[in-house]
């Protein structure tokens, strides 16, 4: 899918360094920083950061704001505790119970018989769908899956719950708003009558690698995938008929290779209302990703769990449909007095995440406070690309020094005696810089508009550093 379908200002060229686990932190801080809010990065892994204005300071752990109380986070992590709050508030959720591995398999088997098959087995705590096994149809399968969780994944506490029908949805809720909704489809491939299942998986993974979020959620051929292939009567080397659909997993998590379809504007309001109710059923919970199973035919709707540190990339970078601008909604809700600049240049401006984190990682700094963006709110911004030949390194160093003195954003690229300078700033400063370049070279340089991503600061090769 073209990145034109993803939020403006957060497309591939803007977020490339943050592909995967750093997406939440980078996109949220980028939105706040562009608005002129204060941003402080607190660790080299970019898990923790602070955003503030003159009135308040809010700390974050990736997407989770400190407005979520520690007790609320603890209650959400424990799936059985969260179920209790759902039931108390009248939020529809599957019947289920918690079991300790020390009790053995017998109590789990007995409870499954009581609530009826099919059932779901999963760890009491966890994320990304790890260890979640759905649609278990009988006691023999339940024992196999129990052994897998306890012996291979070494889980000590397990939840067994009734399997409910419905398509899988992730609703990101902040405050009283359902910011974005996606339908999650289990990992799958569609045949073309030519390629094997293995080749189809590899081809799909190549496409996923281009997606800022899905790039870290490739389809891995593991125990579950091989079981689904075998259950359908195929092997990994089988060739599917043209158009034949093959599901590869039971769970629909994007991190496990699932597809993502944006349905924010088309999903039933009942799903959004239920998700909002689920968030507010947990005392002290302000935001989170709510997993809902919804059957559009029967209207049945059940909350499965809440992730208080949700991956907002799943809503921003769907496989199909338009991505939701979740960072905007987060900053709008938490800092309602902040506004986005009127000029559209801010959509192109980024800060250098890698260099910033490198300073903390190497012990140069314990934390980093970002310098405010270099643009005047509402002012006219000009970006140009200058190309020319030079025969004296000292001459080019002088030009670079002028760019830095004028506080231009941009970079210099050289190859032999050929120079390319990309610069962006107010129209008046760009005009001054171009005059300097023309005067220094005694010839008018080639100039054209530059519409690419602008990284704050002025970057030069080691060769031209003072």
Which domain CATH number covers 390? 3.30.70.100
Q: Please report whether residue 351 resides in a domain.
A: yes
Q: Please report whether residue 291 resides in a domain.
A: no
Longest Cα separation, the chain: 89
Q: Please report whether residue 395 resides in a domain.
A: yes
Residues 358 and 401 in one domain: no
Distance CA 62, CA 308 (A): 10
- Which tokens belong to 211? 């997606």
142-144-149 Cα angle (round to 5): 90
Residues 416 and 454 in one domain: yes
Domain end point (choices 306, 336, 369): 369
Range 229-248 average pLDDT: 97
User: At 128, which CATH number?
Assistant: 3.30.1490.20
Q: Please report whether residue 436 resides in a domain.
A: yes
Distance CA 435, CA 437 (A): 5
Asked if pLDDT for residue 377 goes beyond 70, the answer is no
CA dihedral sign of residues 68, 74, 80, 84: negative
Q: Please report whether residue 316 resides in a domain.
A: no
What secondary structure letter does DSSP report for 68?
A: S
Residues 402 and 457 in one domain: yes
Domain end point (choices 347, 369, 391): 369
Asked if pLDDT for residue 418 goes beyond 70, the answer is yes
Distance CA 238, CA 330 (A): 46
The mean of the pLDDT values for the chain is 92
pLDDT 10s digits, 8-61: 999 999 999 999 889 999 999 999 999 999 999 999 999 999 999 999 999 999
Q: Please report whether residue 182 resides in a domain.
A: no
Q: Please report whether residue 259 resides in a domain.
A: no
Residues 445 and 407 in one domain: yes
Model confidence at 175, pLDDT cuts 50, 70, 90, reads very high
Question: Who wins on pLDDT, 463 or 459?
Answer: 459
Residues 386 and 447 in one domain: yes
Range 160-187 average pLDDT: 95
Domain end point (choices 162, 194, 209): 162
Residues 115 and 51 in one domain: no
pTM across the whole model: 0.91
Q: Is 7 helix (H, G, I), strand (E, B) or coil?
A: coil
Asked if pLDDT for residue 250 goes beyond 90, the answer is no
Q: Please report whether residue 258 resides in a domain.
A: no
Range of the domain at 99: 95-162
- CB neighbourhood size of 243 (10 A): 9
How many domains in the chain?
Answer: 3
Distance CA 212, CA 193 (A): 30
């Amino acid at each position: 899918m073209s990145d034109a379908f993803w939020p403006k200002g957060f497309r591939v060229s803007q977020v490339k360094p943050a592909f995967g686990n750093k997406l939440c932190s980078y996109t949220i801080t980028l939105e706040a920083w562009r608005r002129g809010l204060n941003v402080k990065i607190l660790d080299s892994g970019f898990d923790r950061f602070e955003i503030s204005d003159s009135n308040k300071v809010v700390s974050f752990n990736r997407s989770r704001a400190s407005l979520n109380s520690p007790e609320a986070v603890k209650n959400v992590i424990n799936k059985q505790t969260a179920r209790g709050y759902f039931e108390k508030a009248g939020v529809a959720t599957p019947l289920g119970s918690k079991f300790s591995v020390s009790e053995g398999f017998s109590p789990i088997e007995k409870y499954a018989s009581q609530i009826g098959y099919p059932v779901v087995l999963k760890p009491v705590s966890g994320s990304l769908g790890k260890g979640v096994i759905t649609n278990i149809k009988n006691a023999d399968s339940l024992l196999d899956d129990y052994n897998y969780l306890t012996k291979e994944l070494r889980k000590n506490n397990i939840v067994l719950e009734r399997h409910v029908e419905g398509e899988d949805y992730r609703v990101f809720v902040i405050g009283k708003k359902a910011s974005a909704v996606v339908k999650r489809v289990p990992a799958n491939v569609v045949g073309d009558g030519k390629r094997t299942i293995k080749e189809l998986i590899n081809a799909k993974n190549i496409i996923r690698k281009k997606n800022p979020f899905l790039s870290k959620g490739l389809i891995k051929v593991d125990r579950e995938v091989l079981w689904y292939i075998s259950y359908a009567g195929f092997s990994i080397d089988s060739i599917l008929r043209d158009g034949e659909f093959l599901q590869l997993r039971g769970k629909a998590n994007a991190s496990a290779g699932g597809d993502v379809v944006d349905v924010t504007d088309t999903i039933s309001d009942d799903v959004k209302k239920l998700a909002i109710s689920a968030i507010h059923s947990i005392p002290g919970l302000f935001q989170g990703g709510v997993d809902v199973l919804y059957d559009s035919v029967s209207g049945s709707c059940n909350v499965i769990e809440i992730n208080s540190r949700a991956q907002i990339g799943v809503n921003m970078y769907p496989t199909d449909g338009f991505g939701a601008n979740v960072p905007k909604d987060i900053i709008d809700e938490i800092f309602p007095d902040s506004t986005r600049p009127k000029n559209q240049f801010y959509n192109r401006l980024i800060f250098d995440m890698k260099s910033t984190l490198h300073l903390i990682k190497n012990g140069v700094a314990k934390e980093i406070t970002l310098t405010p963006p270099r643009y005047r709110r509402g002012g006219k911004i000009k970006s140009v690309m200058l190309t020319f030949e030079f025969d004296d390194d000292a001459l080019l160093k002088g030009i670079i020094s002028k760019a830095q003195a004028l506080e231009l954003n941009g970079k210099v690229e050289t190859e032999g005696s050929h120079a390319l300078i990309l610069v962006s700033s107010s129209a008046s400063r760009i005009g001054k810089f171009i005059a300097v370049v023309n005067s220094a070279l005694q010839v008018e340089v080639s100039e054209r508009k530059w519409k690419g991503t602008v990284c704050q600061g002025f970057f030069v090769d080691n060769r031209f550093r003072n």
